[in-house]
């Protein structure tokens, strides 16, 4: 029973991180399990709505899995307090606004608002993972960690969009600057040509994520013009969550 549960969890994780439906053969190879066992697990997960069959013999994550995956966020409830701020930022600035949380060496985007006019729509759909050390939302989270904990969230092998790499000292200096000014900046490191500005959100336990906005660098909007709105939005969400920004 335990082995079947573990295999089912690994199937869900594999499909959740896949960019397109995965064939039965690919799932079997990834798990290193008998084809008959994997097929049985997929059959049961499909029947319960956790997995969907995209085409004969290929599978993708199902809506039920999304509902379960978002349950911790609903229970912790930061999203309900952050979402109005994202809508307001998008309406005011006509930019993409998002909320992301730190998870290992990644940030995971858990909410997003796009402008009604097309504007800039990045690959930050709910559930997208990006390296924390390069994204503005990631740096906004990392900057308020205990310095001794930061290293666990860095991956030296992950370069910027332009292939740039940084030492731990470079990262430490960037995070110190971020904390001193109250917000983080990504000037095209994650996606070339895109500028992102983010500020941390706090609940009773500490930093629980970051609010960020993204827009074209060529739009000519200076960081100093956007940052106060982002910082104010994060502060309002923090207040509603009962948190307190640490200095």
How high is the pLDDT of residue 120?
52
For residue 1, what pLDDT band results from cuts at 50, 70 and 90?
A: very low
Q: Sheet containing 58-61: which strands, arranged edge to edge?
A: 22-23, 58-61, 51-55
Which two tokens mark 135? Answer: 């994204």
What is the residue-wise DSSP string for 171-203?
HHHHHHHHHHHT-EEEESSSSTTEEEEEEEEEE
Q: Residue 98: what pLDDT?
A: 94
Query: Under DSSP, is residue 123 helix (H, G, I), strand (E, B) or coil?
Result: coil
Give which of 242, 235, 228, 199 is closest to 92, Cα–Cα: 228
Q: Percent of the chain scored above 70 by pLDDT?
A: 89
Q: Cβ contacts of residue 111 below 8 Å, gap of 6+?
A: 79, 82, 83, 86, 98, 99, 126
Q: How far is CA 2 from CA 6, 8, 35, 187, 229, in A?
A: 6, 10, 18, 46, 49
Name all domains of the chain by residue range, CATH numbers in brackets: 2-67 (1.10.10.10), 77-240 (3.30.450.40)
User: Looking at residue 62, what is its pLDDT?
Assistant: 85
pLDDT value at 3 more than 60: yes
Alpha carbon distance 28, 183 (integer Å): 44
Does 235 score more than 50 pLDDT? Answer: yes
The average pLDDT across 152-173 equals: 80
- Alpha-carbon distance of 145 to 150, in angstroms, equals 6
Per-residue b/e over 48-78, b at no fewer than 16 CB within 10 Å?
eebbbeeeeebbbbbeebeeebeeebeeeeb
d(CA 210, CA 100): 6
Q: What is the pLDDT of residue 247?
A: 61
Q: What is the pLDDT of residues 48-71, one digit of tens each?
A: 889 898 888 899 988 888 777 766
Residue 116 confidence (pLDDT): 79
Instruction: Report the alpha-carbon distance of residue 219 to residue 233 in Å, rounded.
Output: 22
pLDDT of residue 168: 82
When pLDDT is cut at 50, 70 and 90, the band that residue 79 belongs to is: confident
Residues 6+ apart with CB under 8 A from 24: 35, 38, 39, 42, 57, 58, 59
The pLDDT value recorded for residue 139 is: 96
pLDDT single digits (tens) 187-203 = 888 888 899 999 999 99
pLDDT at 72: 58
**DSSP code for 206:** E
Q: What are 5-58's pLDDT values in tens digits?
A: 888 889 888 988 888 899 989 999 988 888 888 889 889 998 988 989 888 889
Higher-confidence residue of 127 and 69: namely 127
């Amino acid at each position: 029973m335990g082995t079947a549960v573990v295999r089912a969890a690994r199937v869900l994780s594999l499909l959740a991180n896949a960019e397109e439906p995965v064939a039965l053969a690919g799932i079997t190879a990834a798990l290193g399990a008998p084809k008959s066992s994997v097929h049985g697990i997929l059959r049961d997960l499909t029947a319960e709505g956790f997995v969907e069959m995209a085409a004969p013999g290929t599978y993708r994550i199902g809506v039920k899995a999304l509902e379960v995956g978002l349950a911790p966020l609903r229970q912790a409830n930061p999203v309900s307090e952050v979402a109005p701020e994202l809508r307001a930022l998008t309406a005011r600035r006509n930019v993409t606004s998002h909320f992301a949380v730190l998870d290992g060496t990644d940030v995971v985007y858990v909410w997003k608002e796009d402008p009604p006019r097309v504007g800039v729509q990045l690959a930050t759909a709910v559930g997208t993972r990006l390296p924390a050390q390069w994204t503005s939302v990631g740096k906004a989270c990392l900057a308020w960690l205990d310095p001794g904990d930061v290293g666990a969230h860095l991956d030296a092998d992950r370069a910027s969009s332009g292939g740039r790499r940084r030492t731990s000292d470079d990262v430490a200096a960037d995070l110190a600057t971020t904390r001193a000014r109250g917000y983080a900046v990504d000037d095209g490191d994650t996606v070339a040509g895109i500028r992102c500005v983010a500020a941390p959100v706090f609940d009773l336990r500490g930093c629980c994520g970051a609010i960020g906005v993204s827009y074209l660098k060529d739009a000519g909007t200076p960081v100093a013009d956007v940052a106060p709105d982002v910082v104010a939005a994060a502060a309002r969400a923090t207040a509603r969550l009962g948190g307190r920004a640490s200095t």
